[in-house]
Structure 1
Amino acid sequence: MLIEFRNKKAFPGWELAPQFLSNLITSYKIKNVLEIGSGANPTLDAETILSLGINYTTNDLSAEELKKAPKEFATWKADLCNSEDIKNHSKKYDLIFSRMVNEHIENGEQYYKNIFHLLEPGGITAHCFSTLYAFPFLVNRILPENLSDKLLDIFNPRDRHQHEKFPAYYSWSRGPSKKSIKKFQSIGFEVIEYVGYFGHSYYRKRLPFLHSLEQRKANYLVKNPISSLTSYAHVILKKPK
């Protein structure tokens, strides 16, 4: 089990995601991939999928989001927290992946149980997500949705067609800790890798002085980690054969 803490610059949930996912696919000899919540924006493009020789399904709660997906991808409209949706789905996967989705899951325990059910024996699941107690995400959790939505437009404006904002609950979205590891193990997973990341960029454009302080804090915490103060994390779990 690899437990580490790193600077947010190394977080594989954004620009580094395609390489991170490709490495997982080649390292574990993956053939069937399900990406959760990726409807409009699958992490890998069609050319990469063809070169890797894999079957790739993009999932989302929203039919509208899935309509935005490139036509080369198989699609599955389902709520991964809904056990009925899972029971009615016969396909199994070697790899189930998500990025910047898990913080929007209301029931983390049921979500991971359903993922466990969807995996082939020996399959893996990997997730990149924000964690609750970094200040911007704590604010996002506490404030009413309409107010947090306005703050996001100020500090991190985005293309709403391709990157809509969804409610965040942060259930099971925490940095590496003994408690979190035991939760995953209680479902039956083997924890392969659990990495926490310190720092964020929400102050960079509007509050450069605070951004500078945030980067200093992040560098300090990498050397003196406090799990509850991570901003992001990624976890790799394995379903035993």
Structure 2
Amino acid sequence: MSLATVTADPIRPASRAHANPNRSVEGFFRELAPDWHSQWAWDHYEPTILNLARQFGLRRVCEIGGGRDPLFTAEQAAGHGIDLIVNDIDAGELALTPAGLKTARFDIAGDLSEPDIARGGYDLMVSRMVFEHVEDVERAWTNIHALLAPGGVALAFFPTLWAPVFALNHLLPEKASRAIVHALFPLRRDGGGDPKFPAHYDWCRGSRATLAPMLNRAGFTDIHIQRFWGHGYFDRMPGLKQIDHGFNALAAKIGWDFVTTYAYVVVRKDRG
């Protein structure tokens, strides 16, 4: 399975004939064989979503927390053969969504009473760096189960505890952690169009043993937790960068879930 092919070859309506609705998300990732380092997760996030859409025949895609920075423009989404709906809880963020894209304002961890709610209306729900900011993640997954169509898939990409860099962000006062992030990435935050929101890290872990019971309660039985280690926070710190890389490489080799840095949590709703 070539990710390069997925990127170059858009998902057309005819490609649904080649979907395999009987496969599991576990089997999908076994064939995909991701690398252990989190750089793979960042580089292959969009191709992985397109690949999921192709393999499972998914077209109606909701991007949770997409706001000002959605996965695709309207033209790109059309080119990939997907119907993209951009979600955010914040009207101000949705106002910054590029022209031509549909939007839906609702709280993924809310009571699903908002007018923009479409129960069973999405084939694929995805999010990137959103779940660490959600206060009630179990309720969010329960709501996702309600919003997905039978056979629908959801993928959440988020940082995990207890990786030291995120543990520090979690334990420090918000003002202090904000100052550190601004110092490390001065062009990516607030003034650079990438605001920092408070992080709660509720259920943000890289352990299947930890997450599976909660996801089962939310209604899912087809579950995959793709663990990643390593990060780029020390890239401008020679010496510390190499020590940290060695630590994460060893943790990945022995499969130490406690210090994963990121995870893809992927679930599929029963086809009914």
TM over 0.5: yes
2:213 aligned with 1:182: yes
Larger RCO of the pair (alpha carbons < 8 Å, separation 6+)? 1
| TM-score, structure 2 as length reference | 0.82
- Aligned 8 A contact 2:229 2:259 in 1: yes
Does the CA-based 8 Å contact 2:105-2:116 persist in structure 1? Answer: no
Label 1:123 to 1:215 Cα distance change in 2 as closer, same or farther (>3 A): same
Distance in 2, Cα, partners of 1:22 & 1:211? 32
How many correspondences in the alignment?
Answer: 238
Asked if residue 109 in structure 1 is aligned to residue 138 in structure 2, the reply is: yes
2:158 matches 1:129: yes
Deviating above 4 A after TM superposition, structure 1's stretches of 4 or more consecutive aligned residues are 2-5
Superposition deviation, residue 57 in structure 1: 0.6
Q: Structure 1: which 5+ runs fail to align?
A: none
Identify which of 39, 45, 54 aligns with 1:9: 39
Distance 1:132 1:215 in 2: 17
Contact 2:136 2:202 in 1 (8 A): yes
1:3-54: CA deviation from partner (whole Å, max 9, x where unpaired): 888122211xx34322122112112111211000010111123232112222
Q: Are 1:195 and 1:233, in contact at CA under 8 Å, matched by a contact in 2?
A: yes
One-letter identity of the residue aligned with 1:230 = T
1:18, 1:43 within 8 Å by CA — same for their partners in 2?
Answer: yes
Structure 1 position 173 matched with structure 2 position 204? yes
Residue in structure 2 matching 1:139, options 144, 162, 168: 168
Tell me how far 1:85 sits from its aligned partner: 3.6
Aligned partners of 1:117, 1:86: CA distance in 2, in Å? 14
- On the 8 A contact 1:79/1:85 being kept in 2, the answer is no
Deviation of 1:137 (Å): 0.8
Distance 1:118 1:177 in 2: 23
Equivalence for 1:215: 245
Q: 2:149 aligns with which of 95, 115, 120?
A: 120
Partner Cα distance (2:197, 2:238) in 1:
27
Give the stretch that moved more between structures: 14-23 or 1-10.
1-10
| Mean Cα deviation higher: 99-108 or 188-197 | 188-197
Measured in 2, the distance between the counterparts of 1:84 and 1:192 equals: 23
The alignment's TM-score, normalised by the length of structure 1, stands at 0.92
Q: Distance in 2 between matches of 1:33 and 1:51?
A: 14
Equivalent runs, 1:42-191 vs 2, <5 Å: 42-85=70-113, 89-91=117-119, 92-157=121-186, 158-160=188-190, 161-191=192-222
TM-superposed CA distance for 1:88, in Å, is 6.5
How far has the Cα of 1:230 moved from its partner? 0.2
Partner Cα distance (1:179, 1:200) in 2: 22
What is the alpha-carbon root mean square deviation over aligned residues?
A: 1.9
User: What is the rounded CA distance, in whole Å, between the counterparts of 2:256 and 2:50 in structure 1?
Assistant: 30
Query: Structure 2: where are the runs of 5+ without partners?
Result: 1-25
Deviations 1:107-143 (A, max 9, x none): 1111111111101111111111100211111111111
